[in-house]
Amino acid sequence: MPNIHEEVTNPARTSLRLFRVGDFLERILRSWGAKQIHRLGRELTGTLYLPMERMALLTGTLRGFLVLRGSLEFSAWLRQLHDETPLGRCSEAEVFEELVALLGLSLTHSFWNPDSFEVGPIHPFVSIPSDWPSGEPQFSCSMLVEEHPVEMRLWLESAAGEGD
């Protein structure tokens, strides 16, 4: 049985120092009000229907592709968390996209280098598994957030700090 805190990291595809991408997502979700988060470890199967799926192209210091997937119930739950905030005026899809953008920014900040730090625009867009980059992602994780399945995958082209 896999460790529930296990994440998949494919170090053969990158020279980046290893880090736990799920920690970034969990930290954001907890700051947004999630109380029950259960790490599942490896990514969910590609055939599992998770209709709320967004991909973001990461540019700047961190270059690659970020995919976040969840159920429609998860996006409704996210939206409900923000009823009394400015995000409460946004649709469920827009709140989910805000989560993707915040996650992309958080990942980029993990590679912060004061001499070469750059963040490109993060514009999440609708995707499906056939849109993903070929090959296995360098980092992936899945979790149940308040009983809603969520999956994150990250393919990196390069990042500041490679070879460190």
Q: What are 20-56's pLDDT values in tens digits? A: 778 889 999 999 899 999 988 665 665 577 899 999 9
| Per-residue confidence (pLDDT) for residue 91, from 0 to 100 | 86
| Per-residue confidence (pLDDT) for residue 82, from 0 to 100 | 73
CATH of domain 18-159: 3.40.1550.10
Q: What is the mean pLDDT of the chain?
A: 79
Which residue ranges of the chain lie beneath pLDDT 50?
1-18, 160-164
Cβ neighbours of residue 85 closer than 8 Å, sequence gap 6 or more:
none
Number of other CB atoms surrounding residue 65 within 10 Å = 19
Taking only Cα atoms into account, the Rg of the chain, rounded to an integer number of angstroms, comes to 15
| Two tokens, residue 137 | 């992602």
| Per-residue confidence (pLDDT) for residue 16, from 0 to 100 | 44
* Domain limits, the chain: 18-159
Which stretch of DSSP H or E encloses residue 105? helix 92-109
Quote the DSSP letter at residue 17.
Answer: P
| Per-residue confidence (pLDDT) for residue 47, from 0 to 100 | 54
